[in-house]
């Protein structure tokens, strides 16, 4: 039985003169945890937006969860895809609290004219408990720290009950302690729910050791891909980033011990 959940063929995405993706092809199997690394401007975020239908293809095709992505199906497929972006600047006066923000994750699946029930709110409270911010549920969303905000974003994606989980630099712009906690949470979530997960980062130190496959991107192309053992090598990464890269021992050993 074919358990491919994402199938991208020769995808090209262009923003005016800039070609963000140049003929990318990729297959992802159900339950895989994939790390996507590469320098800034490599096309990592664009690859994620192609998967959730927000990136506009100028060539190629994408099939997600058995359906070909096009303008009409994008909305209904996005209900089944959780997306966590990097910490954004939020107006501290925004009139919405953490619990309501997390509930937004349910709204796509709920559909128009349906209101959240007590069960939905109970699910939200349970997920807030799981991500460790139940005590902040009534706090205005704009008052959270970067780490707390990312926990809320992960909670929002989880209440969506997604089949695919896309994480776009979720640990960028937050301190090291919060980075560590978010990475632990992401790995816990993967072990618990076994969702197909794609994790984008430009920072090797924030690559979760749970990654089963690494995709190395450069100049809008998949430059190399393979197991962490075969790709996390100093000569490979130095070529990828165009600068000498040394892999800290703890990162190399964390990948070996997690396999």
Partner 1 sequence: MDLSVLQYHFMQNAILAGLFGGITCSVVGVFVVTMHLSFIGVCIAHAAFAGALLGLWLGFSPLIGALLFSLGSTAIIGPVADRGELNPDTSIGIVFSLMLGLAFLFMGLMPGARTEALSLFWGSILTVTQQDLIFLAAVTGVIVGLVVAFYKEIQAVICHRGVALAVGIPATIVFYGLLFSTGVTITASLQTIGGLLIYSLILNPAAAAYQLTYSLKKMLLIAVAFGVVSCWAGLAASYLLDIPSGAAIVITSAIIFGLATVFSPKRKVKGWRQVPPAG
Q: Which residues bind partner 1 (CB under 8 A)?
A: 52, 54, 75-81, 83, 85, 88, 91-97, 99-101, 104-105, 107-110, 112-113, 115-116, 121, 125, 134-141, 143, 156, 160
- Alpha carbon distance 152, 144 (integer Å): 9
Question: Which long-range contacts link 12-18 to residues 24+ away (Cβ below 8 Å)?
Answer: 12/57, 12/58, 12/59, 12/60, 13/43, 13/46, 13/49, 13/50, 13/55, 13/56, 13/57, 13/58, 13/220, 14/58
The least CB distance from residue 78 to partner 1, in Å, is: 4
With respect to partner 1, which residue has the nearer C-beta, 193 or 223? 193
The least CB distance from residue 87 to partner 1, in Å, is: 13
The least CB distance from residue 63 to partner 1, in Å, is: 18
With respect to partner 1, which residue has the nearer C-beta, 2 or 91? 91
Alpha-carbon torsion, ordered 83, 84, 89, 91, to 10 deg = 70
With respect to partner 1, which residue has the nearer C-beta, 24 or 106? 106
> What does DSSP say about strands 18-29 and 33-37: parallel, antiparallel, or unpaired?
unpaired
- Alpha carbon distance 70, 240 (integer Å): 32
Beta bridge partners of 61: 9
- Alpha carbon distance 21, 219 (integer Å): 8
- Alpha carbon distance 113, 152 (integer Å): 25
Round to the nearest angstrom and report the end-to-end CA distance of the chain: 25
With respect to partner 1, which residue has the nearer C-beta, 139 or 180? 139
The least CB distance from residue 196 to partner 1, in Å, is: 16
The least CB distance from residue 233 to partner 1, in Å, is: 35
The least CB distance from residue 114 to partner 1, in Å, is: 9
With respect to partner 1, which residue has the nearer C-beta, 43 or 82? 82
With respect to partner 1, which residue has the nearer C-beta, 77 or 214? 77
With respect to partner 1, which residue has the nearer C-beta, 19 or 85? 85
- Alpha carbon distance 225, 231 (integer Å): 7
Check: CB of residue 104 under 8 Å from CB of residue 153. no
The least CB distance from residue 205 to partner 1, in Å, is: 26
């Amino acid at each position: 039985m074919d358990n491919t959940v994402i199938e991208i063929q020769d995808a090209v995405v262009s923003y005016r003169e800039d070609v963000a993706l140049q003929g990318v092809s990729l297959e992802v199997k159900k339950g895989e945890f994939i790390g996507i690394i590469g320098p800034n401007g490599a096309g990592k975020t664009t690859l994620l937006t192609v998967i959730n239908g927000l990136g506009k293809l100028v060539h190629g095709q994408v099939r997600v969860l058995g359906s070909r992505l096009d303008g009409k199906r994008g909305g209904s497929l996005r209900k089944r895809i959780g997306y966590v972006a990097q910490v954004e600047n939020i107006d501290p006066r925004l009139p919405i609290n953490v619990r309501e923000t997390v509930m937004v994750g349910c709204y796509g699946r709920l559909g128009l004219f349906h209101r959240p029930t007590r069960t939905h709110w109970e699910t939200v409270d349970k997920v807030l408990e799981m991500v460790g911010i139940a005590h902040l549920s009534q706090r205005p969303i704009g008052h959270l720290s970067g780490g707390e905000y990312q926990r809320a974003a992960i909670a929002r994606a989880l209440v969506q009950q997604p089949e695919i989980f896309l994480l776009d630099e979720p640990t960028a712009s937050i301190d090291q302690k919060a980075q560590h906690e978010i990475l632990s949470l992401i790995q816990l979530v993967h072990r618990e729910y076994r969702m197909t997960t794609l994790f984008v980062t430009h920072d090797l130190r924030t690559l979760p050791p749970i990654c089963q496959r690494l995709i190395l991107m450069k100049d809008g192309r998949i430059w190399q891909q393979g197991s962490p053992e075969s790709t996390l090598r100093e000569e490979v990464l130095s070529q990828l980033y165009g600068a000498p890269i040394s892999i800290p021992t703890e990162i190399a050993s964390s990948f070996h011990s997690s396999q």
